[in-house]
Amino acid sequence: MFQLLSLLLALPLASAALLPRQSSSQIVRLSSIENVAVRSNGQILATNMNTATLYTIDPVAKTSSSSLSVSGATGLSGIGEYAPDLFAVIGGKGIYKVDFTSTPPKSSLIKTISSANNLNGLAVFDNNTLLVADAGKGNVYRLTISTGEYAVVLEDKTMAPSGGIPFGIDGIKYRNGTVWYTNIFTNSFYRVPVDVATAKATGPVVALWTNLMGDDLCFGPNGKIYVATNGKNSLVEVDPNAAKPAATSVGSVTGSTSCAFGRGEKDRNVAYVGGGQGVYAITVKV
């Protein structure tokens, strides 16, 4: 959510120890990248909340092009691959399917969540189910792709909106019975255990930190979680298995919003990071 960067910069710095110590390399220059995903062929997909264009980026050639314009959307945010080369992407109150199994790729509406306020984060739950975070209402919808059915499955005070622009839960990801999410204006990062069939909470919410802003996040090949810190201009690493998980900076990106790891042998340890001025690469230890 790069559009909120000016407000986020006014928030206090969490810790001097978290200042980035490593550099990143810019792959392409694009304005206000909101979210990124990586296809199996190695190409990066990038969204922007100000346009319905879904960008394709070649990290080797360092070029970008328009994959398609998502019909019906005015801007795009969260994105995730739920089946091979089938992606779900948020566009306003609509959740859209983008099909890269056809040439050229095609988009279609999965469902409009009419009750939503401000959809932003998206997590793939399984190959027919999505979790969609409503930053405006502070809850999470479970959406069935094949039927379009949806319902609120998670809602907690830690997801609630706050700040000059009412905005709460932001980044969200799911893996192995746990939902991980950030609340950017409260500088917080949380996890909650959920039922593997219903996605409803099976235990209490646990805070990993409450003193560092976090935007979207991604899983690394080393079992670590990586979080983009937006106005703190970094990508941080978190060990989810540590007794006291701590954030350690692995690189700097101005206005970092999101991340996704490469899927090839040569870039599996490369985090592709979206930011205010484009998409960047940061190599991490595995």
Q: How far is CA 196 from the centre of its chain?
A: 21
Task: Return per-residue pLDDT of the chain as tens, 286 residues.
Answer: 644 543 444 333 334 345 445 679 999 999 999 999 999 999 999 999 999 999 999 999 999 999 999 999 999 999 999 999 999 999 999 999 999 999 999 999 999 999 999 999 999 999 999 999 999 999 999 999 999 999 999 999 999 999 788 899 999 999 999 999 999 999 999 999 999 999 999 999 999 999 999 999 999 999 999 999 999 999 999 999 888 889 999 999 999 999 999 999 999 999 999 999 999 999 999 8
C-beta separation of 30 from 65 below 8 A = no
Q: What is the pLDDT of residue 17?
A: 44
Instruction: Give the number of domains in the chain.
Output: 1
- The CATH number of residue 27's host domain is 2.120.10.30
- Give me the phi and psi of 66, to 5 degrees please: -90, 120
172: closest CA among 135, 129, 222? 135
Task: State what percent of residues in the chain have pLDDT above 70.
Answer: 92
Q: What is the pLDDT of residue 229?
A: 97
- Give me the phi and psi of 5, to 5 degrees please: -60, -40
C-beta separation of 88 from 130 below 8 A = yes
Render pLDDT for 64-97 as a digit per residue (tens, 0 to 9): 999 999 999 999 999 999 999 999 999 999 999 9
Q: Which residues make Cβ contacts (< 8 Å) with residue 278, sequence separation at least 6?
A: 26, 27, 28, 29, 30, 31, 33
- Beta pairing, strands 44-48 & 270-275: unpaired
pTM of the model: 0.93
Domain carrying residue 215: 2-283
